[in-house]
Structure 1
């Protein structure tokens, strides 16, 4: 198994195409074609984590946060980032980051928080726009079924809880090939009319290369006519944050104590309690002040997130409880999830959970 094989498994879980534009995800250090000797999973890649990888003979670190976030102009070892990169290169250790790609995955960071809190009826809090594309192509009627089947197999035609979705219109196509053409149907130099089917299917944007490859490999024509457009339809399964419901409603203080226990945090900074029980909870792992309006719009009673500033708490306006549980605490279960996921996909060697606590914040 090579590093790219591990990356492929991670990409199936959380395609990098859905990472935020500001992020730096993917293979940050190393050669994707290197044979894997072991995988170490961590939340952050620090020097101690690289040491741990060396000790365990792991030449691939799968990290949630990217160690290289901004551009590096020098590698002198002056900063902790430079020291990590130098040590990783020196010991031939690759570093892969998944970060906001996993934030936006339906089975990702926020789903993990929901499961930790036992929330039911999970839905995406802030759906990501521009994630659905549409292909329209024109194929001889006799070949339409084979092309549809191939496109469905490649992942096209999935809408919410439905699959094999398409729209089809019968019509006539015309073409006239020049001297350099080699038409499969008809003769070059002669105008040909063919009974055709216009086929429209939607697909997730990260599948575009696969969908086009399938189209070209299956379509009988020498020149394939097709159109691809980006839709503004809301995607139910790609986006950041989630909202769900407790099995039983709780009073604010009881709910906060419940969250503190389940999320294993030492303290919670929160806004004023509400005068009614907490039932509907929004969650967003990491820095989530931007999600406050969305949480309100989703009629959430409480938002679990991190890195809230002083003035952010005023925006609760007695309509919602804002609970800051800490950045590390909101994402700490992610690495265990990734270990479990990769262990099910890769069985020929152990996927190791880092024992290093990378939380830079300490409590008195």
Structure 2
């Protein structure tokens, strides 16, 4: 198995097409064609983590956070980022970062938090926009059913709980081929009319190249007429944060104790407790102040997130309780999830859980 094979598994789980624009995800260091001896999974890639990879004979590190976030203008070892990258290169270790691609995945970071807390009726808190596209093409009447079936097989036509979704309209197509043409129907140099079906299907943007390849391979015409447009629809299965419900309402004080136990935290920074009980819970792993308004609109009693600043707590305004459990703490179970996922996919070499505590924040 090569590095690209592992990447394919990861991108089936969390396609990079849905990572945030500001992020730096994917293969950051190494050769995607290199044979894999082992995979080490970590939350952050530091020098100590590279050392751990060497000790465990792992030449691929799958990291949640990207070690290279901003552009590097030199590699002299003057910063922890440069030293880490240099050490990885020295030992021929590849580094892959998944970050906000997994943040936005339906079965990703926030789903992990929800499951840890036992939340039910889970929904994406901030659905992503611009992830849904539409393909429109035109096929001869006799070929339309077969072509449509192949487009569905390639992943098009899935809307919510439905599949094989399409819109079809019948009409007359016209064309005339020049001397270099080789028309499937009609003759070169002659105007031809053909009874055709207009087929429109929606699809998620990460499968566009696969879908177009299917279209070109399966369409009977020499020249395929098609259009691809991006829709403004919000995607209910892709986006930041989640909101769910406790099976039974809890008093706020008892929920805080429950939260500390489940998320393994010793303290929680929070806004004023303005609700005696909580039931609807919003979560957003990592820095989540931008989700406060969305959590309010969702009717959440509490938002669990991290990296809230002083003035962020004022924006609760008595409508919601804000709970900051720490950045590392909110994402700590991500590496366990990735190990479990990859271990089910890969059986011919080790997938190792990093034991290095990469949390830079310490408490007294």
Normalising by structure 1, we get a TM-score of 0.99
Which residue of structure 2 lines up, in the alignment, with residue 257 of structure 1? Answer: 257
C-alpha separation in 1, matches of 2:175 and 2:263: 64
The offset of 1:276, in angstroms, is 3.7
C-alpha separation in 2, matches of 1:2 and 1:195: 48
Which residue of structure 1 lines up, in the alignment, with residue 177 of structure 2? Answer: 177
Which residue of structure 1 lines up, in the alignment, with residue 166 of structure 2? Answer: 166
Q: How does 1:49-60 map to 2 (within 5 A)?
A: 49-60=49-60
| Matched positions, count | 364
The offset of 1:274, in angstroms, is 2.3
Which residue of structure 1 lines up, in the alignment, with residue 90 of structure 2? Answer: 90
Which residue of structure 2 lines up, in the alignment, with residue 100 of structure 1? Answer: 100
C-alpha separation in 2, matches of 1:215 and 1:65: 36
C-alpha separation in 2, matches of 1:351 and 1:149: 38
Which residue of structure 2 lines up, in the alignment, with residue 246 of structure 1? Answer: 246
Per-residue deviation, residues 85-119 of structure 1 (Å, max 9, x unmatched): 00000000000000000000000000000000000
Asked if 1 retains the 8 angstrom alpha-carbon contact of 2:126 and 2:240, the reply is yes
Q: Which runs of 5+ in 1 are unaligned?
A: none
Which residue of structure 1 lines up, in the alignment, with residue 75 of structure 2? Answer: 75
Asked if 2 retains the 8 angstrom alpha-carbon contact of 1:2 and 1:36, the reply is yes
Asked if 1 retains the 8 angstrom alpha-carbon contact of 2:275 and 2:301, the reply is no
The offset of 1:275, in angstroms, is 3.2
Q: How does 1:280-319 map to 2 (within 5 A)?
A: 280-319=280-319
Normalising by structure 2, we get a TM-score of 0.99
- Secondary structure at the residue paired with 1:238? strand
The offset of 1:251, in angstroms, is 1.2
Asked if 2 retains the 8 angstrom alpha-carbon contact of 1:252 and 1:274, the reply is no
Per-residue deviation, residues 112-167 of structure 1 (Å, max 9, x unmatched): 00000000010000011100000000000111111111100100000011111001
The offset of 1:254, in angstroms, is 1.0
Which residue of structure 2 lines up, in the alignment, with residue 16 of structure 1? Answer: 16
Q: Which runs of 5+ in 2 are unaligned?
A: none
C-alpha separation in 2, matches of 1:360 and 1:276: 34
Q: Are 1:63 and 2:76 counterparts?
A: no
The offset of 1:53, in angstroms, is 0.2
C-alpha separation in 1, matches of 2:53 and 2:266: 29
C-alpha separation in 2, matches of 1:322 and 1:252: 12
C-alpha separation in 1, matches of 2:316 and 2:253: 16
